[in-house]
Amino acid sequence: MAGETVITVMGNVVADPELKFTPSGAAVANFRIANTPRTFNRDTNEWKDGDPLFLGVSVWRQQAENVAESIRRGDRVIVVGRLTQRQYEKDGERRSSYEIQADEVAPSLRNASAAVTKNSQNGAQNGQQYRQQGQSQGYGQQAAQQPYGDPWTNGQSAAGQWGSAVNEPPF
Protein backbone atom coordinates (compact mmCIF):
# COMPACT_ATOMS: atom_id res chain seq x y z
CA MET A 1 0.00 0.00 0.00
CA ALA A 2 1.10 3.55 -0.55
CA GLY A 3 2.48 5.49 2.37
CA GLU A 4 3.78 2.49 4.32
CA THR A 5 7.32 2.56 5.66
CA VAL A 6 9.25 -0.40 4.24
CA ILE A 7 12.51 -1.20 6.02
CA THR A 8 15.26 -3.79 5.96
CA VAL A 9 16.70 -4.80 9.32
CA MET A 10 19.46 -7.25 10.12
CA GLY A 11 19.58 -8.66 13.64
CA ASN A 12 19.79 -11.68 15.90
CA VAL A 13 16.71 -13.68 16.84
CA VAL A 14 16.07 -13.24 20.58
CA ALA A 15 13.85 -16.34 21.08
CA ASP A 16 12.55 -19.15 18.90
CA PRO A 17 9.61 -18.05 16.71
CA GLU A 18 6.19 -18.81 18.17
CA LEU A 19 3.81 -20.33 15.61
CA LYS A 20 0.06 -19.88 16.11
CA PHE A 21 -3.02 -20.30 13.94
CA THR A 22 -5.97 -17.93 13.64
CA PRO A 23 -9.52 -19.34 13.98
CA SER A 24 -9.72 -19.35 10.17
CA GLY A 25 -6.55 -21.48 9.96
CA ALA A 26 -4.02 -18.85 8.84
CA ALA A 27 -0.55 -19.40 10.32
CA VAL A 28 1.27 -16.54 12.05
CA ALA A 29 4.77 -16.66 13.52
CA ASN A 30 5.98 -14.00 15.94
CA PHE A 31 9.55 -13.44 17.08
CA ARG A 32 11.84 -10.62 18.19
CA ILE A 33 15.16 -9.52 16.78
CA ALA A 34 17.89 -7.43 18.36
CA ASN A 35 20.31 -5.19 16.51
CA THR A 36 23.23 -3.59 18.35
CA PRO A 37 25.25 -1.06 16.36
CA ARG A 38 29.02 -1.16 16.84
CA THR A 39 31.49 1.63 16.24
CA PHE A 40 35.26 1.60 16.29
CA ASN A 41 36.89 4.08 18.67
CA ARG A 42 40.23 5.05 17.14
CA ASP A 43 41.44 6.66 20.38
CA THR A 44 41.11 3.44 22.42
CA ASN A 45 41.53 1.11 19.43
CA GLU A 46 38.42 -0.84 20.53
CA TRP A 47 34.93 -1.60 19.32
CA LYS A 48 32.11 0.01 21.32
CA ASP A 49 28.55 -1.32 21.41
CA GLY A 50 25.72 1.17 20.99
CA ASP A 51 22.20 0.95 22.37
CA PRO A 52 20.39 -2.20 21.20
CA LEU A 53 17.23 -1.97 19.11
CA PHE A 54 14.59 -4.65 19.71
CA LEU A 55 11.85 -5.17 17.13
CA GLY A 56 8.95 -7.59 17.04
CA VAL A 57 8.39 -9.41 13.75
CA SER A 58 5.15 -10.98 12.48
CA VAL A 59 5.12 -13.37 9.52
CA TRP A 60 1.97 -14.85 7.99
CA ARG A 61 0.73 -17.96 6.14
CA GLN A 62 3.15 -20.43 4.55
CA GLN A 63 6.13 -18.19 5.27
CA ALA A 64 5.20 -18.31 8.98
CA GLU A 65 5.45 -22.10 8.95
CA ASN A 66 8.75 -21.93 7.06
CA VAL A 67 10.17 -19.45 9.59
CA ALA A 68 9.03 -21.53 12.58
CA GLU A 69 10.67 -24.60 11.04
CA SER A 70 13.92 -22.90 9.99
CA ILE A 71 14.82 -20.00 12.29
CA ARG A 72 16.10 -20.44 15.87
CA ARG A 73 17.23 -18.26 18.77
CA GLY A 74 20.63 -16.71 18.06
CA ASP A 75 20.30 -16.92 14.26
CA ARG A 76 21.24 -13.78 12.38
CA VAL A 77 18.40 -12.85 10.01
CA ILE A 78 17.52 -10.20 7.45
CA VAL A 79 13.92 -8.98 7.62
CA VAL A 80 12.20 -6.83 4.99
CA GLY A 81 8.76 -5.49 5.79
CA ARG A 82 6.47 -2.68 6.82
CA LEU A 83 7.25 -0.82 10.02
CA THR A 84 4.21 -0.39 12.27
CA GLN A 85 3.76 1.31 15.62
CA ARG A 86 1.51 -0.25 18.23
CA GLN A 87 0.08 1.78 21.13
CA TYR A 88 -0.78 0.10 24.42
CA GLU A 89 -1.18 0.84 28.11
CA LYS A 90 0.88 -0.84 30.84
CA ASP A 91 0.61 -0.02 34.55
CA GLY A 92 -1.48 3.04 33.70
CA GLU A 93 1.24 4.40 31.43
CA ARG A 94 0.73 4.82 27.68
CA ARG A 95 3.50 3.11 25.70
CA SER A 96 4.31 2.27 22.13
CA SER A 97 6.36 -0.37 20.38
CA TYR A 98 7.55 -0.82 16.83
CA GLU A 99 6.95 -4.02 14.91
CA ILE A 100 7.67 -5.29 11.42
CA GLN A 101 4.99 -6.99 9.33
CA ALA A 102 7.48 -9.10 7.40
CA ASP A 103 7.34 -9.55 3.65
CA GLU A 104 10.62 -11.51 3.60
CA VAL A 105 12.71 -13.27 6.27
CA ALA A 106 16.08 -14.77 5.38
CA PRO A 107 19.09 -16.12 7.27
CA SER A 108 22.21 -14.00 7.06
CA LEU A 109 25.02 -15.93 5.42
CA ARG A 110 27.80 -13.69 6.71
CA ASN A 111 28.92 -16.20 9.35
CA ALA A 112 26.74 -19.20 8.49
CA SER A 113 25.60 -21.38 5.62
CA ALA A 114 22.12 -22.57 4.74
CA ALA A 115 20.61 -25.26 2.55
CA VAL A 116 17.41 -24.20 0.78
CA THR A 117 14.60 -26.71 0.36
CA LYS A 118 11.69 -25.54 -1.78
CA ASN A 119 8.16 -26.36 -0.64
CA SER A 120 5.82 -28.29 -2.88
CA GLN A 121 3.19 -26.27 -4.73
CA ASN A 122 0.54 -27.67 -2.41
CA GLY A 123 2.17 -25.86 0.51
CA ALA A 124 0.67 -26.45 3.92
CA GLN A 125 -2.45 -28.50 4.44
CA ASN A 126 -4.28 -28.41 7.79
CA GLY A 127 -1.31 -26.76 9.48
CA GLN A 128 1.05 -29.55 8.46
CA GLN A 129 3.72 -29.13 5.85
CA TYR A 130 4.15 -32.04 3.48
CA ARG A 131 7.46 -32.46 1.70
CA GLN A 132 8.13 -34.87 -1.12
CA GLN A 133 10.80 -37.48 -0.60
CA GLY A 134 13.81 -37.86 -2.85
CA GLN A 135 15.93 -35.47 -4.85
CA SER A 136 13.65 -32.58 -5.77
CA GLN A 137 14.10 -30.36 -8.80
CA GLY A 138 12.11 -27.50 -7.28
CA TYR A 139 8.41 -27.14 -6.66
CA GLY A 140 8.13 -30.83 -5.81
CA GLN A 141 8.91 -32.15 -9.30
CA GLN A 142 11.12 -35.25 -9.24
CA ALA A 143 14.15 -35.51 -11.51
CA ALA A 144 12.75 -38.58 -13.28
CA GLN A 145 9.65 -36.61 -14.26
CA GLN A 146 11.49 -33.97 -16.31
CA PRO A 147 10.24 -33.63 -19.88
CA TYR A 148 12.24 -35.60 -22.45
CA GLY A 149 13.32 -32.64 -24.58
CA ASP A 150 14.29 -30.20 -21.81
CA PRO A 151 17.76 -28.82 -22.75
CA TRP A 152 18.49 -27.88 -19.11
CA THR A 153 18.34 -31.41 -17.73
CA ASN A 154 21.43 -33.52 -17.16
CA GLY A 155 20.34 -35.95 -19.86
CA GLN A 156 22.07 -36.04 -23.23
CA SER A 157 18.85 -36.23 -25.22
CA ALA A 158 18.76 -32.45 -25.56
CA ALA A 159 22.11 -32.30 -27.36
CA GLY A 160 20.78 -34.32 -30.30
CA GLN A 161 17.90 -31.90 -30.68
CA TRP A 162 20.28 -29.02 -31.28
CA GLY A 163 22.00 -30.83 -34.12
CA SER A 164 25.43 -31.31 -32.57
CA ALA A 165 27.21 -34.15 -30.84
CA VAL A 166 27.65 -34.03 -27.09
CA ASN A 167 31.44 -33.54 -27.17
CA GLU A 168 31.57 -30.82 -29.83
CA PRO A 169 31.98 -27.18 -28.83
CA PRO A 170 29.07 -24.90 -29.80
CA PHE A 171 31.21 -22.80 -32.20
In a domain, 140, yes or no: no
In a domain, 43, yes or no: yes
SS3 32: strand
**Which structural domain, as residue segments, surrounds residue 35?**
5-115
pLDDT at residue 171, rounded to an integer: 57
Express each pLDDT in 140-168 by its tens digit: 444 444 444 555 555 554 444 555 455 66
SS3 164: coil
In a domain, 163, yes or no: no
Is the CB of residue 66 less than 8 Å from the CB of residue 131? no
In a domain, 45, yes or no: yes
Is the CB of residue 32 less than 8 Å from the CB of residue 15? yes
Please name which of 7, 34, 12 lies closest in space to residue 107, comparing C-alpha atoms. Answer: 12
In a domain, 71, yes or no: yes
pLDDT at residue 72, rounded to an integer: 94
In a domain, 136, yes or no: no
Q: Tell me how far apart the alpha carbons of residues 40 and 122 are, in angstroms, rounded to a whole number.
A: 49
Q: Tell me how far apart the alpha carbons of residues 118 and 121 are, in angstroms, rounded to a whole number.
A: 9
The residue ranges of the chain whose pLDDT is under 50 are: 124-148, 157-160, 164
Residues 6+ away with beta carbon under 8 Å from 100: 7, 9, 55, 56, 57, 58, 79, 81, 82, 83, 84
Q: Tell me how far apart the alpha carbons of residues 21 and 44 are, in angstroms, rounded to a whole number.
A: 51
Q: How far is CA 102 from CA 13, 20, 49, 129, in A?
A: 14, 16, 26, 20
Number of domains, the chain = 1
Residue length of the chain: 171
In a domain, 21, yes or no: yes
Q: What is the CATH number of the domain that holds 72?
A: 2.40.50.140
In a domain, 24, yes or no: yes
pTM to 2 decimal places: 0.63
pLDDT at residue 126, rounded to an integer: 41
